[in-house]
Amino acid sequence: MSTKIGTKRPDVAIRNKSKEQSDKMIASWKNEEVRKKRMESMKKNQSRKPSYGHTGKKHTEDVKQIIRKKIKGIFSGNKHWNWKGGITKINRLIRNSFKYRQWRSDVFTRDNFTCQECGKRGGRLEAHHIKEFSKIIQEYNIKTIEDSENCEELWNINNGQTLCSNCHNKTKNGNNKKLAFRLP
Ligand SMILES: [Zn+2]
C-alpha cells in the first residue's frame, strides 16, 4: 500500500463491494426506517465500554499474590529508582525528632526568619540543608536516632540555610550548587 502523504485511502466499504451491493446500501440509507434502526444500533455500539481485555474479570487471590510479589520484586528496595540505601525511614525519624526541630529553629533564628535567597521575611520558611541531609546520613552510616544524635555534621547550623518555600523548591531543581556558593 502506498504511504504517500496526501494520498487518499480507498474507501474500504466501496472497494470490497460490488456496484450492485453499494447501490443497495445507498438505497437502504434513503429509507428512513432502516436508517433509524442503523443509527440506533450505532449509538448502542458507541456507548459500549471500550474493551480493556481484562474488564470485569477478577483475579483469584492466588494470582493476585503472585502479581504483588512480582511487582514488589521489580520496584522495591534497591531496584527502585528512588532507592537511597534504606535511609528513608531513619530520615523521617530524624526529621521528627526534637533535635531536628531544635536545629531548624536555630537556623531560623540565626537568619532572623528571613529567606537567604530572596530576602523575604516570615511566611512559609524551610531550613535547607546545604549538604544534603540524606547524604550525611549515608556518609556516617546513621541507622538509629542515637547514631544521629552523635553526628556533629548533622547538627551543624552552618550547614543550614533559611529559605522561603518558593526558593527552597528551586534548590530541588538542581540549583543547589548555586545557592550553596552564595553562603558566607
Ligand atoms: Zn525566598
Confidence at residue 21, expressed as pLDDT on a 0 to 100 scale:
80
Residues in the chain: 184
State in Å: Cα 133 to ligand 1 middle. Answer: 20
Instruction: Give the mean pLDDT of 123-141.
Output: 92
| DSSP E strand boundaries for the chain | 125-129, 160-164
Q: Is residue 116 part of a domain?
A: yes
Q: Is residue 119 part of a domain?
A: yes
State in Å: Cα 184 to ligand 1 middle. Answer: 17
Check if the beta carbon of residue 160 is closer than 8 Å to that of residue 104: yes
Confidence at residue 16, expressed as pLDDT on a 0 to 100 scale:
59
Check if the beta carbon of residue 118 is closer than 8 Å to that of residue 111: no
Q: Is residue 6 part of a domain?
A: no
Confidence at residue 114, expressed as pLDDT on a 0 to 100 scale:
97
State in Å: Cα 114 to ligand 1 middle. Answer: 8
Domain that holds residue 144: 88-177
What gap in Å lies between CA 68 and CA 84, rounded to an integer?
22
What gap in Å lies between CA 145 and CA 163, rounded to an integer?
26
State in Å: Cα 88 to ligand 1 middle. Answer: 27
Q: Is residue 24 part of a domain?
A: no
3-class secondary structure per residue, 83-139: CCCCCHHHHHHHHCCHHHHHHHHHHHHHCCCECCCCCCECCCEEEEECCCHHHHHHH
Question: Where is mean pLDDT largest: 13-22, 37-46, 160-169?
Answer: 160-169
Check if the beta carbon of residue 98 is closer than 8 Å to that of residue 92: no
The total of structural domains in the chain comes to 1
Q: Is residue 73 part of a domain?
A: no
Take residue 125 and report the three cell numbers written for it. Answer: 520558611
Confidence at residue 106, expressed as pLDDT on a 0 to 100 scale:
97
State in Å: Cα 120 to ligand 1 middle. Answer: 6
Q: Is residue 126 part of a domain?
A: yes
What gap in Å lies between CA 171 and CA 160, rounded to an integer?
13
State in Å: Cα 169 to ligand 1 middle. Answer: 9
Instruction: Give the mean pLDDT of 9-26.
Output: 66
State in Å: Cα 124 to ligand 1 middle. Answer: 9
- pLDDT tens by residue, 142-182: 999 999 999 999 999 999 999 999 999 887 765 444 444 44
What gap in Å lies between CA 172 and CA 183, rounded to an integer?
17
State in Å: Cα 96 to ligand 1 middle. Answer: 24
pLDDT at 85 over 50: yes
What gap in Å lies between CA 85 and CA 184, rounded to an integer?
32
Q: Is residue 33 part of a domain?
A: no
Check if the beta carbon of residue 87 is closer than 8 Å to that of residue 138: yes
The residue assigned the cell 445507498 is 26
State in Å: Cα 110 to ligand 1 middle. Answer: 16
Full-prediction pTM beyond 0.75? no
Q: Is residue 165 part of a domain?
A: yes
Confidence at residue 112, expressed as pLDDT on a 0 to 100 scale:
97
Bridge partner list, 128:
161
Going by pLDDT thresholds of 50, 70 and 90, the confidence category of residue 84 is low
